Structure 1
Amino acid sequence: MEFEHVGNAPCLELTNSIPDRTAGDRDWLAEPATAAEWIVSLGLTPEAEPTERNLAELRRFREQVFGVFEALVSGASVSQQGLDAITEAHAQGLRTFGLRPPARHSAGQADSEPIARDWPERWSAAALTAYFAQSAIDELTGPRLDRLKSCPGCGWLFFDTSRNRSRRWCSMQTCGGRDKALRHYHRTRS
């Protein structure tokens, strides 16, 4: 299966794991085998195929994250419950996957390795939730929120990284192409 990643942040890739939020007929986190493929498509190696319980928890967390970012896009009030869910997942993640010292450090040298999160090589459900929570915290407290957008075609969230901030759709290959084809059809039928 092919998965499209257009959110420009891991937390938005999580929210976009429903291929079309307007239709809501598919969910890449609905069954273990597809979810494992989706995790691999993010460049992560799952510890094992996720269980139904793990997926249910991840889907609940996804909807909390989506609610927070969707509110920011639409200008609605941000849910304290959503922020609390992200904060708790982040805190739990820090307790489990904290910081590790650099492998090498040379005093006063610019090329020293930075201190980094101690992420696992194989990702459990807890590690994935912590990873997405870290991304959400980074984005919610970072400088890119003014570039957050929602695709009018499918409802996916993304950060518009175009120079002139003119990106309208999740991608030209899917929603942008459909919109242009539909407008062309209506123009020629008139």
Structure 2
Amino acid sequence: MDFEHVGNAHCLELANSIPDRQETGERDWLRSAEIAGEWARSLDLALASPPSSRELADLRAFREDVFATFTAIASGAEVPQHGLDSIAAAQARGLKVRGYRPSGRAIVRAWPQTWGVPDLIARFADSALTELTGDRLDRVKSCPSCGWLFFDTSRNRSRRWCSMQTCGGRDKALRHYRKTRD
């Protein structure tokens, strides 16, 4: 299965693990242990073992908190307290298990070589808090076609779609079709 990663941050890749939020259907990269494992590997986060149905449910619930938080930012709305609380709590739980370790003359987060779902949630929470307290929040955007979130890293901040290959190309083709049809 091919997974497209356009968010420019792990937390947004989690939020984007539903391929098209505008569609109704069963497309969800976290719907089964097998697909979730492939998706995690595509982010270089290899799972130690297949996640249980409870773990997948926890990961999906956390995804929705991250999505709601960053969607609010992209739309200029107030950040939902519930989402922020969920992210902070997940990061705190992760710090209890995976703190820091020395690395030469510095310290780094002590992430595992292979990941369990609690580790993944902590990693995504850590990414979200890094971004929420960083200087890129004004670059969070939502694709008008599919609803995916991304950091606009273009120099002039003009990126509109999650990807030109998918949503951008589809939108341009539709506009061309409508123009030539008339």
TM-score tier, shorter chain, comes to over 0.9
Q: Give the TM-score, by structure 1 length.
A: 0.93
Residue range with higher mean Cα deviation, 176-185 or 70-79: 70-79
| Number of residue-to-residue matches in the alignment | 181
Say which SS state the counterpart of residue 61 (structure 1) adopts: helix
Cα shift at 1:51? 1.2
Structure 1: stretches of 5+ with no match in the other structure: 106-113
Q: Give the TM-score, by structure 2 length.
A: 0.97
How do residues 19-168 of structure 1 correspond to structure 2 at under 5 angstroms?
Answer: 19-25=19-25, 26-102=27-103, 104-105=104-105, 114-168=106-160
Question: 1:26-64: CA deviations, max 9, x gaps?
Answer: 100011100000000001111111111110000000000
Max radius of gyration: which structure? 1
Percentage of identical aligned residues: 63
Q: Is the 8 A contact 1:18 1:24 kept in 2?
A: no
Cα shift at 1:67? 0.6
Structure 2: stretches of 5+ with no match in the other structure: none
RMSD over aligned Cα, in angstroms? 0.8
Choose the corresponding residue for 1:177, options 155, 166, 169: 169
Distance 1:116 1:67 in 2: 29
Runs of 4 or more, structure 1, over 6 Å off, are: none
In the alignment, which residue of structure 2 is the partner of 1:187? 179
Cα shift at 1:77? 2.5
In the alignment, which residue of structure 2 is the partner of 1:13? 13
Say which SS state the counterpart of residue 115 (structure 1) adopts: strand
Say which SS state the counterpart of residue 139 (structure 1) adopts: helix
Matching residue's letter, 1:29: L
